[in-house]
Amino acid sequence: MKLGLKSNEVRVVPYDPEWKKEFAKVKKNLMQHTNLQDNQIEHIGSTAITGIHSKPIIDILVGIGDYSSVSDSLAKGLQNAGFYRLRVERPNEIVFAKFTDNSYQVKTHFIHLVDFGGELWNHLIFFRDYLNSNEESKREYEELKLEYTKQTSQGINEYTDHKEAFVKKIFAMSNSTN
C-alpha cells in the first residue's frame, strides 16, 4: 500500500483493503496522543468505501464539541501524532494533514475536524454508509472520479467541483432521514 499525493495532484488507485488497517492504526495513535474517544474518530472518504478507486489518502473525521475552538492540548496531541494544521479554509471544519517526510510535499492522511454530531459530521458518515450499502450509487461515484482522472492528473479543486453535485445529492438524502 503506497499512500500520498503531492499538492494539487489528482490520482485514483484501485481499492486496497490495507486502507482500513491503516485507519485503525492511525486511530489508535490519535487516541494515545489526545483525549479523543473511540466514537470521535471515523474513517471517511473513498478509502472507507469498500471496492472503489480512491485517491491514496486516508481521510479521518474527528468530532469535538466546538471545532472553532481547538484546545492547545488537542493541537499538540495531533502534532505529536504527526498531523499539522493546513492553511486551507473550508466551511465548518479545520483540516490537518500528515506527510511522508519533513519536506511536507506529499500528504498521506487528512483529518477533518468538525463539530461532533453536527450537520457536517452526520453528512460525512451518512455518505460513507450510504455508498457502502448502495452498489449503484457507489459505482456512479467511482465513475465520476475515474472520468475526471482520465482527463488530467492535476487540479484538486476542479476534481472536488466535478464530484460536488453527486455529493450534495447524497447529503440531501441524509437531511431527509434525520
- Helix, strand or coil, per DSSP, at residue 84: strand
Predicted pLDDT at 177:
66
Q: What is the pTM of this model?
A: 0.94
Predicted pLDDT at 13:
97
The closest of 136, 2, 124 to 58, measured between CA atoms, is 2
- The predicted-structure confidence for 23-77, as pLDDT tens digits, reads as follows 999 999 999 999 999 999 999 999 999 999 999 999 999 999 998 889 999 999 9
Measured over the CA atoms of residue 160, residue 96, residue 118 and residue 69, the dihedral's sign is: negative
CATH number for domain 5-177, candidates 3.40.630.40, 3.30.460.10, 2.60.120.1440, 3.90.1170.40: 3.30.460.10
Measured over the CA atoms of residue 72, residue 79, residue 155 and residue 59, the dihedral's sign is: negative
Residue with cell 476542479: 158
Pairing state between β 84-85 and 58-64: unpaired
Sketch the domain layout of the chain as residue ranges. 5-177
- The predicted-structure confidence for 136-166, as pLDDT tens digits, reads as follows 999 999 999 999 999 888 888 898 888 998 9
Rounded to 10 degrees, the C-alpha dihedral 27/29/33/34 comes to 10
